[in-house]
Amino acid sequence: MTFLHKYPKAAKVAKANFIVAFIALAIGGLFGFVQALHRTNVFRGFINSGEYYTLLTGHGVLLALIFTTFFIAGLFVWGVTRSLDREPENLTFTWSWFWLMTIGLVMATVAILGGLVPDSSIRAAVLYTFYPPLQAHPMFYIGLALVLIGSWMAGADWFWSYRKWRADNPNERIPILTFMTLFTMLMWYVCTIGLALEVVGLLIPWSLGWVTEIEPLLPRTLFWFFGHAVVYFWLLPAYYVWYAILPKLSGGRLFSDSMTRIVFVIFLLLSTPVGYHHQYADAGISVGFKFYAMATTLLLLLPSLITLFTVVASMEHGARQRGGKGYLKWIGKLPWDSPAFVGCAFAGIMFAAGGFSGMINASMNINLLIHNTIWVPGHFHLTVGTAVALTFMAITYWLLPQLTGRKLKHKTLALIQPYAWFLGMTLMSNAMHRAGLAGVPRRTAEPEYMGFDFEPIFGTMAEMKWQIAIGGTILTISLILFLWVVVASWLAGEKSDKPVDDHIPEPLSGVEHTPAILDNMKLWFTLALVLVVLAYAFPLWEMVADGIFSPGALPRPS
């Protein structure tokens, strides 16, 4: 018996979400490959430089917003169903959020790809941050709003299951997989207030022409109200995997249930009131509020450092169970031949590197050296592009057999895949960071200028360019390997009652040691809202006090 046989309805929902996620991953990844070659001027024959921005928008939206959201939905359906031992409460409701999100994604994607059709009026080359007054077709914003509403309904679905379970189990602690899901979704509800206000309140009426002028700073600020917490919406499901599943894959058990819950509580509290750290270089927000955002941002280092400890301790425990000895020699006893383990472990290592560049980004005045340079995508290709994406790919090798009842095929290719991703990302991202230090901007089709040359501090511009192009190519190959393994296993894997060992052992320090207050969702949700009000109430009031749409700028085509 595996997940598919116990919960066939939930398995179908999870699989549908994964199919959409992987299609988005394939298209978004292909765009990334074209960009890597175009930007570095290795090959510019696929598109012209104006179309580059359409591809860049597609890359960002399909990977950062669509791949992640659908994969997370599938992962959470699996975890909630399994840990509460219940199928979804009402399948009509469950499928309606899935289809709502899918319709939204198709609308947004059609609007973006319209930019590749000459003279098309349907365009959305506004990048995944869609700052006005650059204006996309209304279909783009409406599509995004539908994805957002669908994701809210998905969260409601999991809370519904939880309430039903709670009625049957009044004295039980929230199972850890459900705990992590619900806290991630609580954080999602807090941060998406900003996105909903921006897209539904400002951008949709404006793109439909109901209002002409827009004040650029207000939607930009509302975007970043959402825009940093969204990275934790991607990251927390990766943490979910590292806490709940990675210890098992290493042959051991989770080190501490309490610390796991504490980490998720801190993320709920601090994920949203940090948004101004994306606006350190903006006029119109006072230095005091930027400082508050910096302090909360740096405090967020704490849950990530605790995670580092707990995850490494769990892995060490696993390695010692497998016969590992010594201070460091145990590392060799980890299952370096298991694709799911290797992917998660490399994702964790790269996240540590991304964390270091993140500390620079967070440090207000140091940030100005690298703000909006290619350093920033160098940073988030380590975090979302590896810590999250590689974890999701790796755990697919373990989840897919449970959802399809089929064994994984091509294990060697699946094992090469995370090693290739690690290599490709090491090349690409170190070069991006160093180029950013020299001032090379992000989000540009041709980072070559007539009047001056960049002066790199380490290395040469030519060497960085080739590392980005070759790294991007290796990443593309790794992605193709992943998709090949998934499709082959899904369609032709050997059917089995137990296609993978899906048992998750109890933590070393279990829930009996965990204070009950950590499960008090109302308390933590209220505190999170208070922290957001402290950060945002006054600056937002200042922006709207002179009129919501003023000082107003006119829309410009994208």
Partner 1 sequence: MHIHKFEQFWIKLSFVLIAFFIATVVYGFVAMDLKVIGDHATIDPQNLEDTPFGNPGVREVTRNGQTEYEVYVQTIQFAFNPGTAQPIEVPVDTRVTFYVTSPDVLHGFDVAGTNLNTMAIPGQVAKFTTIFPEVREYGIVCNEYCGPAHHVMEGKIKVVPKSEFDISNLVE
CB of 362 to partner 1, least distance (A): 8
Using CB under 8 A as the binding rule, whether residue 287 contacts partner 1 is answered as yes
CB of 246 to partner 1, least distance (A): 17
Active site residue 443: yes
Question: What is the rounded distance in angstroms from the CA atom of residue 112 to the CA atom of residue 59?
Answer: 10
Segment interacting with partner 1 (CB under 8 A) among 232-240, 343-351, 355-363, 396-404: 355-363
Strand partners, 50: none
Binding-site member from 110, 116, 200, 306 for partner 1 (CB under 8 A): 306
Q: Tokens 């801190």 label which residue?
A: 266
Using CB under 8 A as the binding rule, whether residue 320 contacts partner 1 is answered as no
In terms of CB distance, is 315 or 481 closer to partner 1? 315
Pick out residues in 445-474 that bind partner 1 (CB under 8 A). Answer: 445-447, 449-455
Instruction: List the one residue out of 42, 153, 39, 61 whose CA is nearest residue 109.
Output: 61
Segment interacting with partner 1 (CB under 8 A) among 103-111, 194-202, 238-246, 279-287: 279-287
Using CB under 8 A as the binding rule, whether residue 540 contacts partner 1 is answered as no
Pick out residues in 176-215 that bind partner 1 (CB under 8 A). Answer: 215
Using CB under 8 A as the binding rule, whether residue 305 contacts partner 1 is answered as yes
In terms of CB distance, is 363 or 473 closer to partner 1? 363
Question: What is the rounded distance in angstroms from the CA atom of residue 144 to the CA atom of residue 318?
Answer: 42
In terms of CB distance, is 290 or 409 closer to partner 1? 290
Binding-site member from 80, 241, 438, 535 for partner 1 (CB under 8 A): 438
3-state secondary structure of 234: helix
Binding-site member from 91, 302, 533, 537 for partner 1 (CB under 8 A): 302
Helix (H), strand (E) at residue 331: none
Active site residue 380: yes
Question: What is the rounded distance in angstroms from the CA atom of residue 21 to the CA atom of residue 334?
Answer: 30
The phi, psi pair for 501, rounded to 5°, reads -80, 105
Contacts of 68 (CB under 8 A, 6+ apart): 21, 233, 234, 384, 388, 392
Active site residue 232: yes
Using CB under 8 A as the binding rule, whether residue 313 contacts partner 1 is answered as yes
Question: What is the rounded distance in angstroms from the CA atom of residue 122 to the CA atom of residue 57?
Answer: 14
Helix (H), strand (E) at residue 256: none
Catalytic residue among 232, 240, 255, 346: 232
Active site residue 320: no
**Binding track, positions 55-74, relative to partner 1; x by CB under 8 A:** -x------------------
Using CB under 8 A as the binding rule, whether residue 258 contacts partner 1 is answered as yes
3-state secondary structure of 335: coil
Using CB under 8 A as the binding rule, whether residue 283 contacts partner 1 is answered as yes
Segment interacting with partner 1 (CB under 8 A) among 254-262, 266-274, 404-412, 468-476: 254-262
CB of 53 to partner 1, least distance (A): 6
Helix and strand numbers (H, E) in the chain are: 21, 2
Contacts of 403 (CB under 8 A, 6+ apart): 3, 4, 11, 14, 15, 18, 78
Using CB under 8 A as the binding rule, whether residue 335 contacts partner 1 is answered as no
Q: Tokens 């969260």 label which residue?
A: 155
Instruction: List the one residue out of 151, 86, 142, 77 whose CA is nearest residue 111.
Output: 142
In terms of CB distance, is 393 or 445 closer to partner 1? 445
Residues 317, 508 contacting (CB under 8 angstroms): yes
The phi, psi pair for 134, rounded to 5°, reads -65, 130
Using CB under 8 A as the binding rule, whether residue 314 contacts partner 1 is answered as no
Burial of 220 (0-12, 13-18, 19+ CB in 10 A): buried
Quote the radius of gyration of the chain (alpha carbons, Å).
23
Using CB under 8 A as the binding rule, whether residue 45 contacts partner 1 is answered as no
Using CB under 8 A as the binding rule, whether residue 293 contacts partner 1 is answered as no
In terms of CB distance, is 8 or 50 closer to partner 1? 50
The three-state DSSP-derived secondary structure of 104-139 is: HHHHHHHHHHHHHCCCCCCCCCCCCCCCCCEECCHH
Binding-site member from 119, 167, 503, 556 for partner 1 (CB under 8 A): 556
Binding-site member from 200, 295, 423, 483 for partner 1 (CB under 8 A): 295
CB of 134 to partner 1, least distance (A): 5
Using CB under 8 A as the binding rule, whether residue 8 contacts partner 1 is answered as no
Residues in the chain: 558
Token pair, residue 443, equals 């989000």
Token pair, residue 342, equals 């290797």
Using CB under 8 A as the binding rule, whether residue 444 contacts partner 1 is answered as yes
Pick out residues in 110-129 that bind partner 1 (CB under 8 A). Answer: 125, 127
Active site residue 173: no
Active site residue 381: yes
Binding-site member from 96, 321, 473, 509 for partner 1 (CB under 8 A): 509
Segment interacting with partner 1 (CB under 8 A) among 140-148, 397-405, 442-450, 460-468: 442-450
Active site residue 278: no
Question: What is the rounded distance in angstroms from the CA atom of residue 516 to the CA atom of residue 538?
Answer: 35
Task: List the catalytic residues.
Answer: 228, 232, 379-381, 442-443
